[in-house]
Structure 1
Amino acid sequence: MSYAVSSALQAAVFQELFNNSGVTVLVGSAIYDALPGGTLPALYIVLGAEDVRDASDKTGGGALHEFTVSIVTESAGFSSAKNLAAAVSDALIDAPLTLTRGTLVSLNFYKAKAARVGTGDMRQINLIFRARVADDA
């Protein structure tokens, strides 16, 4: 097992979202690896937590990455967040990502959770994807 492909996978996911017109028409460039300081836009994407397990087999090292992409909005309802979540899913499911290390074997949607955050109008949808990678290094 190797965690070595994690950074390459994250960078490829970020680039896929940033370059996807279905995503950017809804959120512009408000796609973050880490939240910037200051005022945030009313709708944005942030890459989140990751859980990784060994998926090595007789052909070599590999890992199964479960990673979260969060959609956050200040809108009172979920509509804009759900539209963006659909675009993110469309962009990532089975995307032919090119990694700087390793190879993406598969990328699939696993689950999602939509919830209000705090007592205000903030809404958040956490999309969890599963990526199987092989470490070719």
Structure 2
Amino acid sequence: MTYAIAAALQTAIYTRLTADPALAAITGPAIYDALPAGPLPPLYVLLGQEEVRDASDQTGFGADHAISILVLSEASGFASAKAAAAAICDALLGAALPLTRGTLVSLNFTKAKAARTNTANQRQITLIFRARVADDV
């Protein structure tokens, strides 16, 4: 197993999302790897947790990453959050994501959950993607 590609994968996903014009039209620049200080916009995207499992084989080291991407909205309904979630899927699925280390073998959508949070009137959609990476080292 290797966790050595995790930073390169996260950077590639973040770069792809921040460069996507369709997502930017919905969220503006509010796509975060870490939450900024101060007040947050009413709709934003946040890279979430990651769970990694070994996917090494006889050809080399590799890993399966379960990656969470959150869409948070203060709107009274889910429409704007769902539009952002759809744009995230469109931006990532089928995209060539160059990594600074290793190779992205596949990136697939696994599941999503839309829910109200404990924060007053906030909606959250959690998207889960599965990325399979191989280490070229």
TM-score above 0.5, yes or no: yes
2:41 is matched with 41
What do you get for the CA RMSD once the two structures are aligned? Answer: 0.7
The number of aligned residues is 137
Give the letter aligned to residue 115 of structure 1. Answer: A
Aligned equivalents of 2:87 and 2:119: distance in 1?
A: 27
2:110 is matched with 110
Aligned equivalents of 2:58 and 2:24: distance in 1?
A: 40
2:135 is matched with 135
For structure 1, the 5+ residue unaligned runs are none
1:100 is matched with 100
Give the letter aligned to residue 126 of structure 1. Answer: T
Aligned equivalents of 1:22 and 1:53: distance in 2?
A: 32
1:124 is matched with 124
Give the letter aligned to residue 136 of structure 2. Answer: D
Aligned equivalents of 1:18 and 1:112: distance in 2?
A: 21
Aligned equivalents of 1:119 and 1:6: distance in 2?
A: 30
Shift of 1:119: 5.5
Aligned equivalents of 2:117 and 2:33: distance in 1?
A: 20
Aligned equivalents of 2:45 and 2:110: distance in 1?
A: 18
Alignment of 1:1-137 (within 5 A): 1-118=1-118, 120-137=120-137
Question: What is the TM-score with the length of structure 2 in the denominator?
Answer: 0.98
For structure 2, the 5+ residue unaligned runs are none
Give the letter aligned to residue 11 of structure 1. Answer: T
